[in-house]
Structure 1
Amino acid sequence: MVFGASVQVVHARPAGQLQNASQIAARLFPAYRLDGGTVQLAGCALEDHLFVRFRIRLGDDREETYFADAQAKLLEPLQVDGLGLRDLETIPEPPEGWSEKRLDRLWEVVRRTISERTGLAEPEPMEAVCIWCRYVTGKLRFHFGAKTAEQAFAGWTRRLKAPPATCPATGTPTYHLTQTDDARIAAAERIAVCEETGSRVLDSDLETCELTGKRVQAGLLALCPVTGRKILAYRLLPCRLCGEEVDPDCLEDDVCRACRRPAPVSADDPRIVRLTSEHPALEKWGRWRLSETATSYIVAARRWLRQGLFVFDKETLTLRAAAVGGRLASLEKLRKIDDPQSILETEADVG
């Protein structure tokens, strides 16, 4: 069988199929909203794929239609409809390099498949329609000043739809791109405003101030070493005794909870052992009580007629601050001194 001699061969394409890069751009670009940005094609490769519609005579004036791909595999109805192979428009000539010998070879395989399905020894083709479906692969490039982002796309041009752009900052799919105040390209859905500075940032850049409830940039927050709460750094207040910048909610009379409420500990407490090893003079004091913050050990102790409060750096064990007072004074009434090391070591009473 030689197609084109005794059997009509028609070349066609799906109706409405996009044919070139300009049409591709016109289809895709309107899908995107860009706040201050532009979009362009950064690459667009078009390739024609062959599908064939065979009209077969079954005898008794009956006909049947089969669709096959370029590998001679028969298509299912859903595939036919998805590719638009039922609604066609003819084209004047096939793509360059076409030979009807290719159709002859394809038919030989299809013929055997049809014969197995119908029981006909020699299915007789009446017509072959070579349908050229165009497939595109490419990239979109979004420009925001000197910043760019890209999005790949691919598909059959007849049913091509714009894919959502992938937010470069968060990975969020979106059709609306914008920029943060520091020029990061991002999905508009992921933009938020810092309630402290008014800056447009990513929502993932914000955290909640646990004192005010404001959503603010993480860099504006500081961790209270006593309560562990994240608070706007400028809202922290110093403890009058230990000097730590702390959560206002843990202060009473300007003294933090850690300084007010140390708990009794024994001499073999590992923390006391570390401290007395580093500061042997501490062993001259007794009745230790200790509290611990994220950065400090706070030790209250008594010696003779006086009482002391000593603040040690948790990592280096450096003595950072001290306060003293009478033996019966409450910790809140102790007086902070300028030379903490001398108070730790001296045996003289401090009034």
Structure 2
Amino acid sequence: MSSSASPTLTPIVPDSVHRESAAHFAAWALAELQIPAELAGDELIVQLPPSERSAFDGKATLRLADHDHATPEHEPLAWDSRFGRWLRERLASHGPVVHARPARQPMAVNDVTAKLFGAYAIEGGQIRLAGCQLTDHPFLRLSYVAEGDDAEVRHLFVAPDGSAVSDELTPQLSLDELEPIVKHPPRIDDAAIRSLIAAGRRIAAKQSTDRDPAVAIAEPLAAAVLWVRHAEGRLQFTIGAVTVDHPFSGWASLLRPQPYVGKESGVASFSLGVTDEGEIEPVEEIAVCQKSGRRVLRRELVDCSVTGLRVLPEFTEPCPVSGRPALRGEFVNCKRCRQRVSKAVLREGVCSACQSLAKVSKDDPRLVWIFGEHPGLDRWKSWRLAETSTAYIAQASSLLKQLLVVIDKESLTIKRIAQRSRLSNTWLDLDEASREDMLR
């Protein structure tokens, strides 16, 4: 086995799409330290407090620039320079992490609810907040830079559960635009911080472009706990004496109004009304019965096949010919079969069933059934047949006469039996004796 020493491997900086210039990161870090700094073009101007001036030869003001823009008057803006080492030491003196929050996230309940309330239209009612709780959740940002690199700082973001924050979610939560929390940050115990940092290191190892397990990951330049606000609560919609709750939950900066889903209709909407049954539902799902004036769900109404009015089914009945509903006042008796039918199926007083008799053979199952109950009818020939939901309408012919029989479909009782000559248009009902003789 060789005793020669292995070459020293340079720590690897994990890759990330979230990067910022050294000047911008330094300005943020100085804000965390409450040291005034200003970005002016290609330089960073820092106003040092008296306690920090000895590290820079007593200077009260530092002008920093990277090596591409530096002049003899500038302090080098590099992480291996005395400024870079000083800044690292000052950040480390604040503990394992500094604290920050997204600069653009809602901070108060009013900030959250303002964008929710305006989305809803409550017909004849009102909306109010029935409760809202804002809680801060700790994300973690680890910032990396290679030794001697005076360019970009790379950031990795860790969610409270230890998972990597997606590249899409990072800007959505404004994790790329932070403001420091210098006084009274939310409380987090040391064990939770260690757990987040350990998760961040695992993510950094996975995001390294070098898969050699012997290669070490560089130490982070800084670790920051980012407190992201989560909102949870419920809105309350009230119309008259009826009230419903509409819960909401999500990251405060991402919270968007969600439509209310009607419990009966299952339809989602931002515009709500109330039915006469006391159900708050989308207004587009509510309609007025044109017979009673009641406000009900649109799906509860039917179209009258005669008038076209939208009404509750209780005011209608199905036409035995068409099967379609019609208002009860829109029914009359057909002149031929004498069934009560809707006016929509009549032409010159005769229903469409009577006008559409079709030729059938005597072995048609319906005729066989009828002949079994009324055998005398089997003597007739040339049968034509139609049926409605309640009756069979049958017509037969002989050389000189025609026979009309209307039979109840369930009981096979005769509802009408009449005859006419082939030269007449008038059907004459059989008397009782002739009727019995015809059917025997």
Name the TM-score, length of structure 1 as normaliser: 0.78
Q: Which residue of 1 aligns with 2:267?
A: 172
Q: Which residue of 2 aligns with 1:313?
A: 408
62-71 vs 235-244, which deviates more? 62-71
Measure the CA separation in 1 of the matches of 2:166 and 2:355: 80
Measure the CA separation in 2 of the matches of 1:304 and 1:281: 17
Q: Which residue of 1 aligns with 2:127?
A: 39
Measure the CA separation in 2 of the matches of 1:137 and 1:19: 13
1:85 aligned counterpart, secondary structure: coil
Q: Which residue of 2 aligns with 1:93?
A: 184
Q: Which residue of 2 aligns with 1:30?
A: 118
Measure the CA separation in 1 of the matches of 2:437 and 2:399: 12
Read off the aligned partner of 1:334 and give its amino acid letter: W
Matches within 5 A, 1:1-351: 5=93, 7=95, 9-19=97-107, 24-41=112-129, 44=132, 46-60=134-148, 62=150, 64-69=153-158, 70-91=160-181, 92-96=183-187, 98-111=188-201, 114=204, 117=208, 121=216, 123-194=218-289, 199-248=294-343, 250-259=345-354, 262-283=357-378, 288-301=383-396, 308-322=403-417, 324-328=418-422, 330=424, 332-336=425-429, 342-346=433-437
1:189 aligned counterpart, secondary structure: helix
Contact 2:156 2:204 in 1 (8 A): no
Return the index of the structure with the highest Cα Rg. Answer: 2
Contact 1:66 1:74 in 2 (8 A): no
Question: How far has the Cα of 1:246 moved from its partner?
Answer: 2.3
Question: How far has the Cα of 1:133 moved from its partner?
Answer: 1.0
Measure the CA separation in 2 of the matches of 1:13 and 1:78: 18
- Percentage identity across paired residues of the two chains: 36
Measure the CA separation in 2 of the matches of 1:342 and 1:249: 36
Contact 1:4 1:100 in 2 (8 A): no
C-alpha RMSD of matched pairs (Å): 3.8
Question: How far has the Cα of 1:294 moved from its partner?
Answer: 2.4
Offset from partner CA, 1:127-162 (integer Å, 9 cap, x none): 332111122344434333454444342210123111
Offset from partner CA, 1:65-120 (integer Å, 9 cap, x none): 42321455554543321111133344422334x22343344334534654773878
2:363 aligned counterpart, secondary structure: coil
Contact 1:281 1:345 in 2 (8 A): no
Measure the CA separation in 2 of the matches of 1:301 and 1:99: 97
Closer, same or farther: CA 74–263 of 1 in aligned 2, 3 Å:
closer
1:268 aligned counterpart, secondary structure: coil
1:58 aligned counterpart, secondary structure: coil
Measure the CA separation in 1 of the matches of 2:392 and 2:110: 71
Read off the aligned partner of 1:68 and give its amino acid letter: F
Measure the CA separation in 2 of the matches of 1:314 and 1:140: 57
1:315 aligned counterpart, secondary structure: coil
Read off the aligned partner of 2:169 and give its amino acid letter: Q
Contact 1:45 1:138 in 2 (8 A): yes
Number of aligned residues: 342
238-247 vs 109-118, which deviates more? 109-118
Read off the aligned partner of 2:157 and give its amino acid letter: A
82-91 vs 117-126, which deviates more? 117-126
Offset from partner CA, 1:190-240 (integer Å, 9 cap, x none): 334455555544333344444444444455454333345554442232113
Closer, same or farther: CA 164–303 of 1 in aligned 2, 3 Å:
same
Offset from partner CA, 1:316-350 (integer Å, 9 cap, x none): 2122233x3453454x411347x7x6542136xxx
162-171 vs 190-199, which deviates more? 190-199
Name the TM-score, length of structure 2 as normaliser: 0.64
35-44 vs 161-170, which deviates more? 35-44
Closer, same or farther: CA 259–48 of 1 in aligned 2, 3 Å:
same
Question: How far has the Cα of 1:52 moved from its partner?
Answer: 1.9
265-274 vs 250-259, which deviates more? 250-259
1:186 aligned counterpart, secondary structure: strand
Read off the aligned partner of 2:189 and give its amino acid letter: S
Contact 2:140 2:197 in 1 (8 A): no
Closer, same or farther: CA 101–264 of 1 in aligned 2, 3 Å:
closer
Contact 1:149 1:168 in 2 (8 A): no
Contact 1:304 1:327 in 2 (8 A): no
* Structure 1 residues not aligned, in runs of 5+: none
2:170 aligned counterpart, secondary structure: helix
